[in-house]
Amino acid sequence: MKRSNAQRLRDALEDDIINGRRTPGERLDPDALCREFGVSRTPVREAVQQLVASGLVTVSPKKGTFVARVGIDELIEMFEVMAELEGMCGRLAARRIGEAELEELRQAHERCEAAARAGDSDDYYYENEAFHDCIYRASHNGFLAGEARQLKQRLKPYRRLQLQVRQRIGSSLEEHREIVAAIEAGDAARAEQAMRDHVLIQGERFSDFVSSVRRFGADRQAGTGEVAAP
């Protein structure tokens, strides 16, 4: 999937923050970013806006844009809400999806399979986004879909981070297969549970996630309970 300059810049900045190359409280200078990445101010401005929407950076009037601090507890709470929203989307999609929408969902899943075979976690992430968006639309509830998309944007860096955990992409694909099968069968309860389980960080996945967050940019000062987003 081809990405714009703004998307590529956003992903690069996300990776810098995740890997601790840009630390909490660090100022992001637009002119310096233009020079570093060889782009104009427009993609820099767009990338920063997207990072603000995801909570990775904050803007302080008359002071500038800075790398944010996010607490582990807040991240887990957001994932819990995301799981419920996506579960609702899955339940409604199983009841309301049309044949054309179902075929679109199958094709989105096939593109995820192809990205996984290519071993590209970022490409898989974006195809995965399209897969989930098919289900949002198939819910035929515009308000619910809007809320799900908004929170998904906030969680984008952390969902990308999860895919870097060993064997997570393979597990994600298995979960997609269960979701598609449940929606194809029109089984609303099964689709809701499958979508919820797909997003919710629990058990071993919770341990892996926290380990990854700490490994990639945790604020290691004892007692802060904050991470360098993540």
Return the percentage of the chain with pLDDT > 90, whole number: 46
Pairwise pLDDT comparison (2 vs 145), residue with the higher score: 145
Q: Is residue 66 classed as helix, strand or coil in its secondary structure?
A: strand
Residue positions counted in the chain? 230
Instruction: Tell me what pLDDT residue 202 has.
Output: 56
CA terminus-to-terminus distance, the chain: 25
The 10s digit of each residue's pLDDT in 153-210 is 778 777 777 776 667 888 899 999 999 999 999 999 999 999 999 988 655 566 666 6
Residue 221 has pLDDT above 50, yes or no: no
Instruction: Tell me what pLDDT residue 68 has.
Output: 82
Average pLDDT on 80-104 reads 97
Q: Mean pLDDT for the chain? A: 84
Within 10 angstroms of residue 174's Cβ, the number of other Cβ atoms is 10
Residue 229 has pLDDT above 60, yes or no: no
β-partners of residue 67 are 57
Instruction: Tell me what pLDDT residue 20 has.
Output: 62
Cα dist from 21 to 15, 18, 200, 218, whole Å: 8, 8, 28, 11
Residue 50 has pLDDT above 90, yes or no: no
Instruction: Tell me what pLDDT residue 227 has.
Output: 40
Query: d(Cα 178, Cα 186) in Å, to the nearest integer?
Result: 12
47-51, 56-60, 102-106, 207-211: least confident range: 207-211
83-92, 111-120, 209-218: least confident range: 209-218
The 10s digit of each residue's pLDDT in 104-145 is 999 999 999 999 999 888 888 889 999 999 999 999 999 999
Pairwise pLDDT comparison (54 vs 177), residue with the higher score: 177
Which are the contacts of 167, defined by CB distance < 8 A and separation ≥ 6?
none
Residue 217 has pLDDT above 60, yes or no: no
Run of H or E residues at 227: strand 226-227
